[in-house]
Amino acid sequence: MIETRLLHYFLAIAREQSITRAAETLHVTQPTLSKQMMDLERQLGTQLLVRGKKKVTLTDEGTYLRNRAQEMIDLMEQTEAAFRDEEETLGGEVYLGCGETRVMTFVVDVFARLREEHPGMRLHLYSGDADTVMERLDKGLLDFGLLLGPLHQEKYDYLDLGMHDTYGLLMPRDCPLAEQEAVTLDDLQRVPLIVSRQPYSGHQRLDWFGVDFEALDVVATYNLLTNATFLVERGLGYAFCIDGLAATDGARNLAFRPLEPALTLDACIAAKRYRELSPAAKLLLERLRQEVRG
**Domain residue spans of the chain:** 4-82, 90-163+267-293, 165-264
Q: What is the pTM of this model?
A: 0.66
Q: How many CA atoms lie within 13 A of 83 on its CB side?
A: 5
- Per-residue pLDDT of 161-215, as tens digits, reads 999 999 899 999 999 999 999 999 889 889 999 998 875 443 344 455 566 777 7
Residue 71 pLDDT level (bands cut at 50, 70, 90): confident
* Cα angle, residue 264 at apex, residues 258 and 270 outer, rounded to 5°: 140
Say if residue 245 is exposed, middle or buried (CB neighbours under 10 Å; 0-12, 13-18, 19+): buried
* CATH architecture for residues 90-163+267-293: 3-Layer(aba) Sandwich (3.40)
Q: Do domains 4-82 and 165-264 have the same CATH topology?
A: no
Specify whether the CB–CB gap between 147 and 270 falls below 8 A.
yes
Q: Which amino acid is at 172?
A: P
Beta strands 49-51 and 156-171: pairing type? unpaired
Q: What is the pLDDT of residue 201?
A: 40
CATH topology for 165-264 is D-Maltodextrin-Binding Protein; domain 2 (3.40.190)
> Given this model, what pLDDT does residue 206 score?
44
Distance of alpha carbon 222 from alpha carbon 216, whole angstroms: 16
Residue 27 clears pLDDT 80, i.e. is over it: yes
Strand bridging mode 238-242 / 156-171:
antiparallel
Contact between 121 and 280 under an 8 Å Cβ cutoff? The reply is yes
Nearest to 278 by CA among 77, 86, 76: 86
Cα dist from 287 to 133, 176, 264, whole Å: 22, 46, 25
Q: Which residue has the higher pLDDT, 90 or 231?
A: 231
Q: What is the pLDDT of residue 199?
A: 56
Query: Among 123-127, 135-139, 151-155, whose mean pLDDT is lowest?
Result: 151-155
Q: Give the pLDDT mean for 259-286.
A: 88
Cα 7 from Cα 37, distance rounded (Å): 10
Q: Determine contact, residues 145/137, Cβ cutoff 8 Å.
A: yes
- What one-character-per-residue DSSP string does 146-158 give? EEESS---TTEEE
pLDDT band at 116 (very low <50, low <70, confident <90, very high): very high
Give the Cβ contact number of residue 254 at 10 Å: 19
pLDDT of residue 159: 93
Fold exhibited by the domain 4-82: Arc Repressor Mutant, subunit A (1.10.10)
pLDDT at 54: 85
The pLDDT of residue 211 is 64
CA distance from start to end of the chain: 50
Mean pLDDT computed over 243-269: 89
The CA dihedral of 223, 226, 232, 234, to the nearest 10 degrees, is -120
Average pLDDT (12-28) is 88
Q: Angle at Cα 78 formed by Cα 58 and Cα 277, nearest 5°?
A: 135
What is the pLDDT averaged over residues 269-287? 89
Question: Is residue 87 over pLDDT 60?
Answer: no
83 falls in which pLDDT band (50, 70, 90)? low
Range with lowest mean pLDDT among 196-200, 254-258, 259-263? 196-200
